[in-house]
Amino acid sequence: MGGSSNPLSQDSNPSNSVLEINPSNLSGLLKLPPSKSHSMRWLTLASMDNNPTRILMWEVGEDVQALIDCLSSLGIEWDGEVMRGGELRQPSSTLDCKNSGTALRFLIGQAATCDFKIVLDGDSSLRARSSLLLPESLGVEVATKSNDCEYPMEITGPFNLESVEIDVSKTSQFHSSILLMTPRTNGFSITTKGDAVSRNHSELTWDLCKRTGAEIPGKPWIVSCPDVIIPPDASMMAFAKLANLGVENAPDSSESIGHLLDNTELRDSNDLITPMAAWLALGEGGTITGAKHAAYKESNRITRTADLLSQFSIKSTINSDGLSIRGGQQPKKPDGIVKTYDDHRIQMTAILLASICGGLVEGSDLHKVAWPSYLDQLIDCGLDVTVHP
């Protein structure tokens, strides 16, 4: 392959094994994972309900598990199905959010309400994502425990501001975190600034808050959670479309959080950018817009998506807020190992492109962040793959 007699000897992340994928004929149905967006909001709300809340998820991804583990370290009870919330207690060690920016940011809000120190950290991918704006906006004491990184991040509350203003132009997670911390406060006013992105995620947060008793943003309420069955993750429909596979548990449109596969304007659904770019290249082409905030995900998903396509000899053009992709292109087997930049959606897209032309893909477990059974389900649908340590 290319200029190397042994592609598996090329430099790649040593912590990741490599997938060797041969051209495959895929057929069958996929079962979408539970929605991370719903799971993490319900878990955070249930952690403030003194009564038990049953939260049913047919599988649990690593991001959701990271939040569960951190809440458990804060004294919240979880038995795998039922959560019993209450007051937070000081953890005995650093809270490891692993790859989950959502867990980190939701926990910053919770930590800000405490009158003791809480230290938050994560993996190298999470450490590359800034979250300082959130604790600074909350007026709590924040210290970084590294000279060259804002993590591990030490938060010392308690929060006592009467008003909070938060920038929503790069992520909705800060706004959601502030809404979700409200029951642990004495109340405050909330204002937002900037051109809001991922608005449906903020709306989902507030909708779930109202379902637990909230009436006015920033006004505390006694949280009362219903038992919930987490709906399927609508954003993962993009991978089924790219694979040309059916879905056995298609989400209801009311729970899609704006993940509409026929809309290439991604202001409210930037998670779609990578698989969408791939299927546009294979199909009729098009221009993805409104995805400027995709630069603040696990990787800069605009530039990394373009790079992923390039590794498969697919051409694209980076625009100010997205990508333009010519249609009718066919992927070619890459030389060497396909880089996926510790980003699960880039790895998941790379797997499906390699299923067409073959290839070596780094990060055999990255999909487990959000969809633990993804690779196993694809194997059941005919994917020819070997895992190399």
151-193 pLDDT tens trace? 999 999 999 999 999 998 888 899 999 999 999 999 999 999 9
Residue ranges with strand state E in 185-302: 189-193, 228-229, 246-247, 285-288
* Domain spans of the chain, in order of start: 7-32+232-388, 36-229
Peptide bond into 158 cis (omega under 30): yes
* The predicted structure's pLDDT at residue 324: 94
The pLDDT tens digits of the residues spanning 118-154 come to: 999 999 889 988 999 999 999 999 998 888 899 999 9
The per-residue pLDDT for range 249-290, each reduced to its tens digit, is 998 877 766 556 677 777 766 788 999 999 999 999 999 988
Backbone angles phi, psi at 340, to 5 degrees: -125, 0
Which of the four pLDDT bands, split at 50, 70 and 90, describes residue 8? Answer: low
Structure confidence at residue 284 (pLDDT): 95
Q: Establish whether domains 7-32+232-388 and 36-229 are of one fold.
A: yes
- Cα 324 → chain centroid: 24
pTM of the model: 0.92
Give per-residue pLDDT as tens, 291-304.
Answer: 775 555 555 888 99
Strand locations in 137-232 (E): 141-144, 153-156, 163-167, 189-193, 228-229
Question: Which one of 1.20.58.340, 3.30.70.920, 3.90.1150.10, 3.65.10.10 gives the CATH number of domain 7-32+232-388?
Answer: 3.65.10.10
Q: Residue 376 corresponds to which tokens in the numbers above?
A: 């196993």
pLDDT averaged over the chain?
Answer: 91
Higher pLDDT: 12 or 137? It is 137
* DSSP for residue 114: -
Element (H, E) at 134: helix 133-137
pLDDT at position 132 is: 93
Average pLDDT on 33-56 reads 97
Residue 14 reports pLDDT greater than 80: no
Mean of pLDDT values over 57-86? 98
The share of the chain scoring above pLDDT 90, in percent, equals 79
CA atoms lying within 13 Å on the CB side of residue 186: 6
Q: How does residue 12 score in pLDDT terms, banded at 50, 70 and 90?
A: very low
Q: Is 188:163 a contact under the CB 8 Å cutoff?
A: yes
Q: Is domain 36-229 in CATH 3.40.350.10, yes or no?
A: no
Contact 326, 285 (CB under 8 A): yes
Residue 356, phi then psi, degrees to nearest 5:
-85, -45
**Window from 15-24, 100-109, 379-388 with minimum mean pLDDT:** 15-24
Residue 334 predicted with pLDDT over 70: yes
